[in-house]
Each structure stands twice: as C-alpha cells, then as structure tokens.
Structure 1
Amino acid sequence: MRIVGMDIHRVAAEAVALLDGKLVKLGRIPMLRERLEEFARTQLTHDDHVIVEATGNAAAVVEVLAPHVDRVVIANPKQVRLIAHAKVKTDAIDAAVLAKLYASGFLPEVWVPDEATLALRRQVARRTQLIRQRVRLKNLIQSILHAHLIPPCPHGNLTGISGRKWIAAQRLPDDERAAVQRHLAQIDLIEGSLKDVEADIAKVAMADPAIRRLMTLPGVDMTVASGVAAAIGDVRRFDDPTKLVGYLGLNPSTRQSGEGRAYHGRITKQGRGQARGMLVEAAWAAARSPGPLRAFFQRVAAKRGKPIAAVATARKLAMIIWHMLTKGEDYIWVRPALLARKFRSIELKAGLPPEHSKRGAAYDYNIPEKRAAERVRVEAAEEEYAGFTSRWRAKPRNRPQREKKMPAPA
C-alpha cells in the first residue's frame, strides 16, 4: 500500500508518496478539476491511500480523487500542527508529514459527510452569511442616524414598513438620505435571497425525520434544527453524549498534572462553531419556555450567572439531542400545539399554499385554553425538577489536611 500526502492550497497542491519507508515527490498539481483527474489517472492506483488537510476545497479534491484510489482521508489541520511542528516548513515537507502520520497511525482524521449533509451545511452557512450582511447594513443605517442626533427608532423593525416611514420623516442631508436608500435597497435584495435559501432548507427539513425530531425541543426552530443536524450528520459516529459535546466545543477545558487537582476552565470552543452558537441561542429561548430546561437554567444562573447558565443549557441540549437521535425518540415534554405551529411554519417557507379556510393542528396554539392546558403539564415537570434538585448538596472538596503545629516548649 502506498500512502500519498497532499498539501493543497488555493492554486496548487504538492504531492509526496511514501512506500516502504521511502519518500518520492510526485510534483506540483494545479488545483483544477481536469488537472487533478489527470494526476489521479496517471500517477495514482486503486491501492493508494491519499491524505489531505481540511480546507475550503478539500471536499472537491476528495470527490475527484476518490474513484481512482482505495481511500481518501481528510486530516484535522489544527491537530496536525500540534503533532508535527517543525522549524523548516515547505509544501513538500507538509505533504510528507501527512503521509508519515497516517502510516504511523497518529493522523487525526476528519469525518467526511455525504453529499446531502454537505449540501445542507452549505445552505445553513449561506443563510448565516446573508443574516450577517443584513445586520451590517442595518448597523450602517443606525450609524447615519446616530451621527445626526436622531433618537432610536420607536418601532421594533427599523427596516419594516413602519420603520421606513419613520426614517423618511427624519431630517437628514441629501447625501446621507441617498446612502440610507441604497442600504435599504440592498437589504431588500438580501431578504429576497434569504427567502429562497430558507425555502430550500425548509424542503429538506420536511423530509428529514432527524430535523423534525430536534424541533420537539423547546427553543429549537427549523434553522437551529437544520444547522445542528447538518453538523452532526450520522449520530452513530459518537459513542456517547460526551463525544458529541466535545465535537461541538461545549466541554470545559481541563488542566491537571501529577497528583494535583484538576482545574476546569472555559469551554474549548473546538469543532463546529456555527452549531455551537445555534445551541446557545436555543438555550436562551429554552430559558424563557416552561419546562425542566428552564429550571436547570435558573438553578445554574443563581450560582454562576446567566451567560454561564446559557452555555450549560446548550451543553444539556447537546446531550439530550444525542439520546433523542440515538434512541429515535422525541422530546418527552414536547408541546403538541407549539410543535404543529413549527411544522406549519416549515410548510409555508417551503412554498405550500396558506389555506386560511382550513384549521389544522397548528391552529390550536391560537386557542388560549389549549395553550394553557399544554403549559400546565410542562410547568408541573419544571416544578418537580426544581424540587428534586433543591435537595442536592455540593460535594465537599477533598483538601489535604494541614499538619498541626506543636506548641513551643515553655
């Protein structure tokens, strides 16, 4: 078996082969699909294992090379740098390091998702980019208003119908007013693209049972469920919930040496940062919704503060998600009317007709009596959890006993 390490960049890749302990340079390959296919046909065999680092174009490289070799492995670049730090660094040396690490069994591999999961990840990332662009433009409008001593907008949405009428009534110089109009026009274009992207995500969510199952959690809507499901992929690759928590970077950092105490610090923030941020947002929403998760948030917030409680609740959500997806079960404290409303929102975003004359299960959420009846059940679960945890006592720390000093002789 020959191992081929490839150090890939934006325009070219350096390839080095390792066979029987000897390194052979295979040359520099331009990062073009036809040149990569030519390289695979002429210099690679079906017994080769190819190693590349995780970069923006790594998935495309894997797609081109996979039919021509036995296996293509994507390595974690952060962990590779920790293992193989060298003062002399070239593309050929980096490619050789990848091959040697794989041959020795020390290569930190990255899971390669299927095409459907990759497509969902791209759509979720596009939505996040569009949201950031819209926020940036809104901040530019706010800065213009602030520069001319205009008070904050009294309406909830600055770029909505009422907000735009309010902006039009303000006193602004002609060039500033033209700039505001340009920013509003760009926001309209972004919102049109955002609607199309969300429609594509909604179509996937309607057919994906994992996304629909995640939406049974409080605070988890279509966007959060799709982002988390795309980040997780096949949940079976995580042996236990702590592995999923570590993959999302929600596990606390630990420092311990010798016989000393273990010190736990902030979360590691490794792995899928976008999914981690979505879970934290969902935790803030769950803290406002009745149920055991709100009681958990309030218990942690009373001791450590609300920001830490939100991260702890996000970690709790990640562990619950592992159990739900592994066992194929919905969240036990789901509110049916609220869940039906979430599903109906997906259908509308996917382009299904409104059908105002028909009242389905989602309409029950608009009936105060039914909504209150569902809240009674989850509020009772919240009280039971709060009462159960109130009896907990902090475990005393095992501190080394100090030697007693003998009194000095008289």
Structure 2
Amino acid sequence: MGKSSHIQGRKGNKFSQHLRGVNLEQVLIVAIDAAKLHQKALICNYFGDIIVKPFFFSVNRDGIQSLCDRIKQAEKDCNAVRIFLGIEATGHYYEDIVRILGQHGYDVQIINPYTTKEERASALNWCKTDDLDLVAIAHAIVGNKATETKLPEGKYRELLTLTRARRSEVRKRSSLRMEIRGIMDVIWREFQGFSPDDHHKPIKTKIFSDMWGKSSLFFMKYSPHPSMVLALGEQGIRESSRKHNLKIRSSTIQKLLHAANQALSRPKEELAAELLLLSMKLEDLERYDQKICRLECEIESVLLQTDGKLLLSIPGIAVVTAAEAYAEMGDVSQYENPHQIIKKAGTNPVVIQSGGGKGYYGSISKQGNDHLRFVVYTAGKSLSLHNTDLRPFYERLKEKGKHARKIHIAMGNKFLKIAFAMLRDKKPFLSQNVQKQYADEMNKKLKYHSIANHLTAS
C-alpha cells in the first residue's frame, strides 16, 4: 500500500503497518497524564480493556523505574507484541518523562491538549478529572492523533529556549515602557509630544523621534522635569549633548525648551514620589535592555552553528526571526511537505464545504504551535515591507481587497514554504536580483558575529 493511500497520509500508513496482522488484544496502550508533582498512568489494550488501573508515579529515578516495571509486567501478562505510549503536552512537565522513557527504549507520542479536550467532548462528558484525561489520551493514541514523537534536542532545543526567553523579556520590557510613559505623563505630559499653538487641527509634534532613544532616555534620567530643562537652557543642553554624544539637533532643542516653558506640571517638590519611581523604572529598563542584548548575542552565535543561518539570506528576515522559525519548525526532515508545518503553526485556513458545493476558506485554524504562529505573522509582516522578490505577491493580495493581517499571514505561510525548501536542500534564498550577494545580505544582519565571505549553494 502506497504512502498516499491512507486517509492520514504517511503518519497513518506508518501506524497501520505496526498494527496490520497483529492480534489487537496483544497491543498495549499506555496513557500518561503529566503534572508538576502527581503524574498518573493507565495501561489498557487496544479495545480499551484495562490491564493496569490508573496509578500515580513520581518523576524521579524510582518513579520512572516503577512505571517501566508496570509496563513490562503488563507486556508479560498480555504477551504484548506492540506497545504505544502517549502523553498530553502539559506545560513543560511532560518533557522529562518523554526524555527519560526514551532512554529506556520507549517512543512516547505527544498529544496536543486540544485533542484530549475534544476527546472528552466527543464522549458528551464535560467533567475533567485525571482518570477522564487518561481515557481521552488512550482514545487519542488509538486514533493515532498524536502530533509529535520527539522532543527538540541539541541546537534546536537551545535556540528554542533562548528565543522564547527573549520574547518573554521583550514583552516585559514593553509593559515596563508603558509604565514609564504613564509616570512621565504625570511629571511632564508634553515630553512625549505637544500640539503647536499655531495650528487649529489636532497635530502632534514630537520632541524626540524615538521615546527610547539615547537622547530621550538621557533627559528622562537626568532632567525629567521641565524646570530642570529650563535651568539648563539652550547652552546647557548643547554642552550635555557634546559631553554625552547625544547629537541633539537645534530644532529638537527648541522644541524641548518650548515644551518646558509651556508646561503646566506640578512643582518638582510635589512630584518627589513620581521622580523616584521614574528613576527606579529606568534602572529596570536598562537591565532589561542588557538582558535582551545578551540573549540576542547568544541567539546569533547558536544560529550561525546551524543550517538556520541560511534563512538570513532572505531579505526581510533578521536574526531573531530566523532563529525562532528554525527552532519552532524543528528538523524539516520529519515533514513530507511545508503544508504540515503550516498546519503545525495553526495558520492553515479552515475549509468549509458540504453538499458537493465549491466551499470556501474561513479563518485560520489556530490549532497549533502558538509560538510558530507568532513567527509566521511577524515574518509575513516584515517580508511584505522589505522583500522586493515577494512584493508582487503582497500587491496581488492587496488588489483583491484582503485585510493587512490576512496578507501578513499568507505571506508568512509563503515564508514557511520557502524556508522548508531552503533547509531541506541546504540552499540559500534565490533572489531575482542576480547582483545580490548572499554573504553580504547575511552579514549586514549580524551585530556580534560574522560569517564567511561566500556561501556555497550545494
């Protein structure tokens, strides 16, 4: 039977080969429900007859050995010739169990929590207990509904840890920046922008183009109150700019002095608490910046040791996006085609069709790896803006009246297809611009390292 003849494709064909010609009473199903402290397991046969009632075990040497002993005893009692183990991907608690059981010679299927939820719902049971979860996991194993059987290892795992940690720190920094904006609104609301007096329209004029640039941060740290800026005066601001290499333009100085002169802020003495909080928050912000830079340096270093560096040859894809995509996709050799990666990301459109009609595409499924889904969107947005080779694809969708977010998702899916082919064939991006040098494209995106001056496409 060919690979394409099974309704579940290669995955279903492989599963059926394990079962074909086997007495199903000799097929063991081991369902494992992971948790922080109290893991539970159930052993039954393919028909659902319970061999070992649900039992607890610990995730330590003795606990795993106890689980293995029970599995071996069940194999002996049933003369089992096949055994399938499955575990729900609960947080990160399942990872140690999969890894250690792998060292004991067992392949453990990893089941998406959405799958077990649907299994419970299909039984018209809206209760949720450990035992019901085990039953749902067992049904998912019998139905061959596992998503993966391997954990990311080596550089994949390292990049996965680093990129997710960086994204977490970036989000914390974003929240902190919002707090700082709120404090500055109390101290000096015009610092973030003001409306000129000679305009009758709601026009906003910014003092600094970047709120988080070097110049803006300097004044928030040392002269956050308008009275402090007025005390410096134009000459004092220019001296500070030269001394600290702020490179403040004359127009910026005039806007800063104008905003300080027109400010209705409370006296500095009444804002002592806010000024203290601002100082503390700015110190926290500096620490976040340092941590993020340190993570980005390490991400860049690890990425350059993998085939993921090939993704840097795509105009519009920077180091962090390339590293996230490479880590979240995992080894592309486990996929037959890029559509499987798109489905893993949950950015595949839901097809609605019945009664022989043509049908239509609905919204994306969102039933996949949310980290990879985030990468798909950010990559698609960046490519839409910065990749001239893919710009026509963007323009076609825009002419059809597609919303920007839908275009970015479609572009992100296209990126996954391109990345799949590049990593599978170990070749860089083939740009229509024949003068474009791959090494130059990659080197300009690197902050801390450098690659070789040439890139072989073999």
Q: Give the TM-score normalised by the residue count of structure 2.
A: 0.69
Structure 1 distance, partners of 2:139, 2:407, is 44
Moved more, 245-254 or 43-52: 43-52
1:81 aligns with 2:178: no
RMSD after superposition? 2.8
SS in 1 for 2:347: coil
Q: Percent identity?
A: 21
- Judging changes above 3 Å, is the alpha-carbon distance between structure 1 residues 318 and 179 closer, same or farther for their aligned structure 2 residues? same
Give the count of matched residue pairs.
351
Counterpart for residue 119 of structure 1: 158
**CA deviation vs aligned residue, 1:203-229 (integer Å, no higher than 9, x gap):** 2111112x1211111211111111111
SS in 1 for 2:381: helix
Gaps of 5+ in 2: 1-26, 76-82, 193-205, 226-267
SS in 1 for 2:442: helix
1:343-358 equivalent positions in 2, closer than 5 A: 343=443, 345-346=445-446, 348-349=447-448
Structure 2 distance, partners of 1:315, 1:41, is 42
Give the one of 12, 36, 43 matched to 1:17.
43
1:230 aligns with 2:256: no
1:178 aligns with 2:276: yes
Structure 1 distance, partners of 2:149, 2:29, is 19
1:379-390 equivalent positions in 2, closer than 5 A: none
Counterpart for residue 7 of structure 1: 33
SS in 2 for 1:349: coil
Counterpart for residue 384 of structure 1: none
Moved more, 6-15 or 141-150: 141-150
8 A Cα contact 2:29 2:43, kept in partner: yes
Counterpart for residue 357 of structure 2: 260
Question: Shift of the alpha carbon at 1:65?
Answer: 2.2
- Judging changes above 3 Å, is the alpha-carbon distance between structure 1 residues 67 and 337 closer, same or farther for their aligned structure 2 residues? closer
Question: Shift of the alpha carbon at 1:325?
Answer: 2.2
Structure 1 distance, partners of 2:331, 2:218, is 49
1:332 aligns with 2:430: yes
Give the one of 437, 442, 446 matched to 1:342.
442
1:28 aligns with 2:56: yes
In structure 2, give the amino acid aligned to 1:92.
D
1:212 aligns with 2:239: no
Structure 2 distance, partners of 1:37, 1:320, is 42
Structure 1 distance, partners of 2:290, 2:277, is 20
Gaps of 5+ in 1: 353-359, 363-410
Structure 1 distance, partners of 2:109, 2:340, is 21
Give the one of 37, 40, 56 matched to 2:64.
37
Question: Shift of the alpha carbon at 1:338?
Answer: 7.3
**CA deviation vs aligned residue, 1:107-145 (integer Å, no higher than 9, x gap):** 333242331222221111001001111111111111122
1:72 aligns with 2:108: yes
Counterpart for residue 88 of structure 2: 53
- Judging changes above 3 Å, is the alpha-carbon distance between structure 1 residues 289 and 34 closer, same or farther for their aligned structure 2 residues? same
Q: Give the TM-score normalised by the residue count of structure 1.
A: 0.77
Structure 2 distance, partners of 1:229, 1:67, is 26
SS in 2 for 1:150: helix
1:56-205 equivalent positions in 2, closer than 5 A: 56-85=92-121, 86=123, 87=125, 88-102=127-141, 104-116=142-154, 117-148=156-187, 149-152=189-192, 154-167=207-220, 168-171=222-225, 173-205=271-303
- Judging changes above 3 Å, is the alpha-carbon distance between structure 1 residues 99 and 278 closer, same or farther for their aligned structure 2 residues? closer
Structure 1 distance, partners of 2:45, 2:406, is 51
In structure 2, give the amino acid aligned to 1:11.
L
Bigger radius of gyration: 2
Counterpart for residue 377 of structure 1: none
